[in-house]
Structures are given as structure tokens and as C-alpha cells.
Amino acid sequence: MEQSVLSSVVLPLAIVLIMVALGMTLTIADFRRVLAQPKQVSIGLLCQLVLLPLLGFAVAGIFALPAVYAISIILLAAAPGGATSNLIVHAADGDRALSVTLTAISNMLAWFTIPFLLGIAYTTYGSGALAIDFPVASTMIQVAVLTVIPVIIGMAIRSWKPDFAERSKRFTRIFATVFLFLVILALVIQNWDVIINDGPRFAPAFILLNVVALAVGYFVSKAARINDVQSVTIAIETGIQNSTVAITVALTILNNNEMAVIPGLYAIWMYVTGFALAYWLTRRKTNADAVTA
């Protein structure tokens, strides 16, 4: 995927602003509530750290992908959650505290999960086990800058100006939804040649991974008797991965440009499903509120 001002500057800055807005909807009590509900966090981590990688291996096998692309799809499935999933949860009016909590934990565990799963992938599809020096410090700094710190700033603003934070809630959700749509449009235009040349070969694989992961996150949560809002949140955290981490690992650690193709294409696709899901959930909630009014 081509790096540009959009992807390297505009997108991170916009995400930081939206994460501040997300933080303005949260209080310390929200996180206490989440931590007091270990089942929700446990189910979310089960879906994201266990079931999603298993889906990655299944998809690689179903489509009989060449070794380099099979490893690439597993790398994508091994990537932790990121700011994008938090942004989509915010736009969809999901459980923001649960979303941020799952993102933080999955990133803290990424130093182990990514090398472990890539080691299995290389043993299965490559030339044997692979020793990977995963950049723990830089990954954690990236997560902190894009998610944790802006959320803390937003929570501080809410504590200082609660009326302003409450009035801003509806506007920031609308802004997040519009922003998702504009990002899709800009990324498609910017990477049109890559989409046309490589998309048809790999789209079925990463689309299936994304859609099934969303479904697994939702239905496993419902089977565990978790409420609908939190089930949707877990679905988004399961189905929307931090493709930037996958691309970075492919290009800098594995030194393989081909392995960055699927995560790069997925980086565009996840905004499509994320935007669609956020829009549908918002419409469903609006209609439900209208019926009960």
C-alpha cells in the first residue's frame, strides 16, 4: 500500500481527535464496570486471540493460498485491535470502555501472539520455524499515542466540562461516521491501481476472514449471554484488526513486500464493513428509539 500524507499524517491525526472525543463519553466508572465483568473481557480476548487466528489458518487452507500469502493472512489475523476498531465502536455507539480495554490488552499481548502464530505459520507453509524480534516498545508507543493518551485527555475534558462533553456526543459520532466514509473514498482513489491489480486475487480470502470474524465475535458473545451492545463491540474488536501493525511487521521485520499486500488491501476493506456496520447499527437504534418514544 502506498504511503502518503493521507495515511501517514491526516489519518493518525483524525483518529487521535476522534479518540479524544471518544474519551469525552467515558468515565472511570465505565472502566470499573468493565473490569467488574470479566466474562465480557474474557470472551472478547478468546474471540480475538484464539478464534480469529484459527479462522486465519482455515481461510489460508480453504483458498489454497501460496505460502507467502497464506502467512500474510495469518499475520493479519494475528494483529491486535487498534484505533480503527475503537473509532467504529464509537460511531456505532457500542461499549466504548470495553472496546478500549480489549484493544489495550490485545496490544500488550502482541509481543507474544504475533511471533508465536507466525512461527506456526512458517512451520506450516514456509521453510521452518522463524525467530522474530517483535518491536514491543514501538508497538506499545503507537497504541498509547493513538488510543490510550487521547482517551485519557478526553476523559479529563469530561471531568472538567461535563456539559460540553455531553453536548458533543452526538456530533462526534456523526463526525466519526462521515470520517469513515471519506477515508474509504480517499483510500480507494489513492490505491486504485493496487485494488484493480491485486484485489481480485485476494479479496475473497480477506473478505471471508473479516465477515466470518465479525459473525463469530457476535454469536459467540450472544451464546455466552452477553448483552447486544457488548456483543456488537466484541464483534467489531474481533473483525477489525490493526492492519498497520501487520504491514509494519511484513515490511520491516520480515522484509517481504508481498506479505504487505493482503493487509494493505484489508486496510481499505475494513473501513467499508466498519462504516456499513456503524451506519446500520445507528439506524437500528434510531428506529428502536422512535418505536419506544
At position 74, the amino acid (one-letter code) is: I
pLDDT for 184 beyond 70: no
State the average pLDDT for the chain: 79
Per-residue pLDDT band at 4 (split at 50, 70, 90): low
CA angle 65, 71, 74 (to 5 degrees): 100
pLDDT at 277: 78
Mean local confidence (pLDDT), 63-91? 85
Q: What does the pLDDT read at residue 212? A: 94
**Cβ neighbours of residue 217 closer than 8 Å, sequence gap 6 or more:** 44, 47, 48, 231, 234, 235, 236, 237, 238, 239
- The H or E element spanning position 38 is helix 38-46
Predicted confidence at residue 3, as pLDDT, reads 52
pLDDT tier for residue 210 given thresholds of 50, 70 and 90: very high
pTM for this prediction: 0.74
Question: Does position 128 have pLDDT exceeding 80, yes or no?
Answer: no
**CB atoms < 10 A from the CB of 293, how many?**
5
Residue 281 above 80 pLDDT?
A: no
pLDDT category of residue 49 using cuts at 50, 70 and 90 = very high
As a whole number, mean pLDDT of residues 185-201 equals: 73
What pLDDT is attached to residue 83? 74
| pLDDT band (50, 70, 90) for residue 105 | confident
User: What pLDDT was estimated at residue 211?
Assistant: 92
Residue 235: per-residue pLDDT: 92
Topology classification of domain 5-279: Na+/H+ antiporter like fold (1.20.1530)
